[in-house]
Amino acid sequence: MNVVLKTTAKLTALVGLLMLSLPSLANEKAAATESLSPLTYEPTLENRRDPNRYCAGCHKFDSNGEQSGGEFHFGKFHGRHLQEKNPNNGKGITCVSCHGNISEDHRRGMKDVMRFQSDIFGDKKPMFTVEEQNQVCFACHQPKKLQEKLWAHDVHAMKLPCASCHTLHPESDAMKGIEPKEQVKLCVDCHGEQQKRLESGLAATPALKQKD
């Protein structure tokens, strides 16, 4: 009987010691787990590579001021293309979004990246057709919505590049909120210039000979 009582007392004491040591063991385990947790890294604007830097390394302003590149893109990219997201993927718009990726022969004048040209009726034949240029714009700017905003979008969509009226990298969009009288003036000025070219024999494209 005494043996049983002694054994029971020992077991009771052992259980008590285990109960007292459980909180301490739990704390030690939690501390060990915390020390082994991987460090998290949140990228910020300062340590994120500028996606336009590669293009801006070569493209600079040219003498006539029409080519936009270099410092203009790097940190000073103007207009809505900088401020808004690409509706197709929700990411910020970069040079590649509109111009595409360059090839190994890009510096040799290879037809690789999109080159938007406003004047397609001049002496120099554009590298890309009106349709090819505008299809890039239509990837984000839906033709149906453009037609609702202004009827001229529908009339000129396949005859004139969007760049004829819209500047690609403007500080402020000259066509945004334009008054009706100014719209009419644009029509008169543009079609008047076409007529002068026709009369002087500089314009011989089927698109110019058609009457809207």
Which residue bears the tokens 């001049």?
122
Q: Which two tokens stand for residue 138?
A: 């239509």
Q: How far apart (Å, rounded) are the C-alpha atoms in residues 121 and 191?
A: 12
CA distances from 110 to 73, 101, 107, 114, 180 (A): 22, 12, 7, 11, 41
CA neighbor of 78 nearest in space, from 173, 201, 209: 173
The pTM (predicted TM-score) of the whole model is: 0.57
Q: Which two tokens stand for residue 141?
A: 């700017």
* pLDDT digit string (tens) for the chain, length 212 residues: 555 555 555 556 555 555 555 555 555 555 555 544 444 444 454 445 666 777 777 775 434 444 444 444 444 455 677 677 888 888 888 888 888 888 888 888 788 888 888 776 666 778 898 899 999 999 998 888 887 877 778 778 778 888 888 877 776 766 777 888 888 888 888 888 878 877 777 544 444 443 33
Each domain of the chain, given as residue ranges in start order, spans 53-171
